[in-house]
Amino acid sequence: MVIKPKIRGFICTNAHPVGCAAHVKEQIDYVKSQGQLENGPKNVLVIGASTGYGLASRITAAFGAGAKTLGIFFEKEGTEKKTGSAGWYNTAAFQAEAEAAGLWSKNINGDAFSNELKEKTVATIKEELGKVDLVIYSLASPRRTDPNTGETYSSVLKPIGNSVTTKNLNTSKRIIDEVKVEAANDEEIANTVKVMGGEDWEMWLDALQQADVLADGFKTSAYTYIGKELTWPIYGHATIGKAKEDLDRAAAAIKEKTASLKGEAYVSSLNAVVTQASSAIPIMPLYISGLFKVMKEDGTYEGTIEQIDGLFRENLYGENPRFDDGGHLFQNYKELEDDVQARVQTIWDTVDTDSIDDLTDYVSYHNEFLKLFGFGIDSVDYDADVNPVADIELV
């Protein structure tokens, strides 16, 4: 099958197996170029391991520290007629690279919010790893079914309090327009917290602790984005921000419950990067395109793998971890520097449709977006016939 990108709005509905493999390899090479991660994790569970920050975490643990990794994700396999999802191909590529490097890795595909999947994970850890010493929680999902009630909750990306009208880079039409987003009601806020808050992270840690598969001195981290004024209307001061605040509650609860194990539970604040999850958030394409312009000019921009590699080396396993004022591991400090934010603000205030390419680096944004699905990579021949079926060994 010859595979070309099929973009619908903010999503690409297909993926290229060879391109995804090249993207994974690029990330592995970056981590290897940083050298061995001393005193890193040994047995790692990554929940949300197939794309974005979770995949970068898995790659860093495996290829930086030589860790065994168990990856959890929800992805679609390819068939002769239809491509699989990018996360499926990423995982197939990761597994092949891990195998070639002599690194143990296993995968579980299914709904991480369910009790069944947690039970399967616990059984696999018991059988194969004994205990885990690092648990990364990197799920991004628009909905969640509560495993105990069977009720399904949907999250919304809406402001809290008043409706917001904001400038927007419309990626389908490649124009600058405005979006108006109505304020969320109380039920929508509560539902978003239910989906993207800390409840499921806590349930995972409860299940792991009850089964006695958490090692003494284990670490766990969930990921958040804490930005400044520009992103507050739709992120910080909005439903998703509210949900992320609940991670702080969960981190404190996990720490308390696992005190006898001397467990460490962190919420880590990371850069705004192009992922499948962030491209769905209205203001992010314009914000990130402006950020690319400023930080790439300065040579300070870090993408997904640079952020996570830095998080592991400097913070999770570093001697002097950096915290923000809210007690989160602080990895996006360069993005939040006043000078950077002020320059992005100027771009934001002045850009119009005609000046998108002069004032922002939307070209890089778009390239990064394509890359998420394995497209736009120089080394890949997109006219070649490729097999859309890729094998992953699943538990």
Ligand X SMILES: NC(=O)c1ccc[n+]([C@@H]2O[C@H](COP(=O)([O-])OP(=O)(O)OC[C@H]3O[C@@H](n4cnc5c(N)ncnc54)[C@H](O)[C@@H]3O)[C@@H](O)[C@H]2O)c1
**Which residue numbers belong to the known binding site?**
48-53, 74-75, 111-112, 139-140, 225, 244, 273-275
User: In whole angstroms, how close is the CB of 288 to ligand X at the nearest point?
Assistant: 8
- Nearer to ligand X among residue 50 and residue 124 (C-beta): 50
Span interacting with ligand X, options 32-40, 136-144, 146-154, 209-217, rule CB under 6 A:
136-144
The token duo for 243 is 């949900």
Residues 6+ apart with CB under 8 A from 371: 19, 23, 377
Indicate the DSSP class of residue 192: H
How far apart, in whole angstroms, are the C-alpha atoms of residue 209 and residue 220? 12
The 3-state DSSP class for residue 338 equals helix
Mode of pairing for the β-strands spanning 68-73 and 164-170? unpaired
Interface residue with ligand X, options 14, 43, 50, 121 (CB under 6 A): 50
What's the one-letter identity of residue 211? A
Which is closer to ligand X, CB of 141 or CB of 364?
141
Which parts are annotated binding residues for substrate? 225
Query: Which residue lies nearest ligand X, judged by its C-beta?
Result: 52
**Strand-pair partners of 267:** 222
Active-site annotation holder among 89, 235, 317, 362: 235
301 catalytic residue (yes or no): no
Could you tell me if 272 and 284 are in contact, meaning their C-beta atoms sit under 8 angstroms apart? Answer: yes
Nearest CB to ligand X, comparing residues 88 and 317? 88
Q: Segment contacting ligand X (CB under 6 A): 134-142, 148-156, 177-185, 380-388?
A: 134-142
CB of 155 to ligand X, least distance (A): 11
Residues 222-281 that bind ligand X (CB under 6 A): 223-225, 270, 272-273, 275-278
Residue 192 interacts with ligand X (CB under 6 A): yes or no: no
Nearest distance in Å: CB 54, ligand X: 5
Least distance from C-beta 123 to ligand X, angstroms?
Answer: 17
Binding positions for NAD(+): 48-53, 74-75, 111-112, 139-140, 244, 273-275
66-125 residues near ligand X, rule: CB under 6 A: 72-75, 87, 111-113
Q: Where are the alpha helices (DSSP H) in 235-312?
A: 239-257, 284-298, 304-310
Query: Which one, 270 or 347, has the nearer CB to ligand X?
Result: 270
Residue among 92 and 140 whose Cβ is closer to ligand X: 140
Q: Which of 17, 19, 40, 48 binds ligand X (CB under 6 A)?
A: 48
Interface with ligand X (CB under 6 A), residue total: 29
Q: Which of residues 15, 23, 24, 53 is near ligand X by CB under 6 A?
A: 53
Q: Which among 250, 249, 47, 245 has a CA at the least distance from the CA of 134? A: 47
CA distances 113 to 28, 116, 221, 243, Å, are: 28, 9, 17, 16
According to CB under 6 A, which one of 141, 170, 209, 364 is a site residue for ligand X?
Answer: 141
Strand partners, 164: 181
Cα→Cα distances 78→74, 85, 248, 385, 386, Å:
13, 7, 38, 15, 12
| Contact status, residue 310 vs residue 330, Cβ threshold 8 Å | no
Q: What is the CA radius of gyration of the chain?
A: 20
Residue 222 main-chain phi, psi, to 5 deg: -105, 160
Alpha-carbon distance of 374 to 182, in angstroms, equals 35
Residues that bind ligand X (CB under 6 A): 48-54, 72-75, 87, 111-113, 138-141, 223-225, 270, 272-273, 275-278
Q: Which residues are catalytic?
A: 235
